[in-house]
Amino acid sequence: MLIAGNWKMFKGPGEAESFFDAFDAPAGVDVVFCPPYVSLAAAVATGRTIYAQNVHWEPTGAYTGEVSAEMLRELGVDGALVGHSERRQLFGETDENVARRARAALEAGLGVIACVGETLEQRESGDTELVLKIQVEALAFAAGEHERLVIAYEPVWAIGTGKTATPEQAQAAHAFIRGLLDRPVLYGGSVKPENAAELLSQPSVDGALVGGASLDPDSFAAICRAASTS
């Protein structure tokens, strides 16, 4: 089981340190933290497994605001998220450049959690599998079944909304993704201590990518505990 906490644009270095002082991780579960770039160094200093929230495909260059895999490695960062729906929806990222980010990070020796998922409109019009197929195949084409690639299924309608996919919806999407690319699949979208155990008990759910509930050390630890027993 892998539980990743995506802090998004929360917690500068000081708050990150306070979080780690208060966080008590259970044994038997792999825990990854994804703080903002400015807090990566403080997070790496704790000895925990730290991923960035994004990564560029070139090692260096005129790409204002971007950070490369080589730079992350120099800092001791172990991996990166790519293709989060907020990057896709708010910052114009595409299946193609998400796949380039994933490939470059994997080639540089980083782990990658690549996010896919349908919007509410796509689900309601019956296009969930088509959207997942397009997104996952772009990743599969760029990275294949790389051993450090993990997929995160995050239905966009469940992110930060309090709405969670039912365990059955999650299981169906995960099994579909697994049929396209044989890599572990995390579930993301309003995972909380109250719903974690049920979601994580689904046979094709290999862990969780947690946003809001990863900001509080106690609620994130509770989710990690649910993972360690499922």
Q: Looking at 188, 195, 196, 206, which residue binds ligand PGA (CB under 6 A)?
A: 188
CB of 126 to ligand PGA, least distance (A): 24
Residue 189 makes contact with ligand PGA by CB under 6 A:
yes
Binding residues with ligand PGA: total (CB under 6 A)? 13
Residue nearest to ligand PGA (CB): 211
Cβ proximity of 3 and 210 under 8 Å = yes
Q: Token pair for residue 42?
A: 């403080």
Q: Looking at 149, 154, 165, 178, which residue binds ligand PGA (CB under 6 A)?
A: 154
Residue 114 makes contact with ligand PGA by CB under 6 A:
no
- Cα 10 to Cα 222: distance, rounded to the nearest angstrom: 20
Q: Looking at 159, 177, 199, 227, which residue binds ligand PGA (CB under 6 A)?
A: 159
- Cα 108 to Cα 36: distance, rounded to the nearest angstrom: 20
Instruction: Please choose, from the candidates 211, 184, 215, 214, the residue with its C-alpha nearest in 3D space to the C-alpha of residue 200.
Output: 184
Q: Is 154 a catalytic residue?
A: yes
The CA distances from residue 207 to 6, 23, 75, 164, in Å, are: 13, 19, 26, 15
Q: Is 84 a catalytic residue?
A: yes
Residues that bind ligand PGA (CB under 6 A): 6, 154, 159-160, 188-191, 209-213
Active site residues per annotation: 84, 154
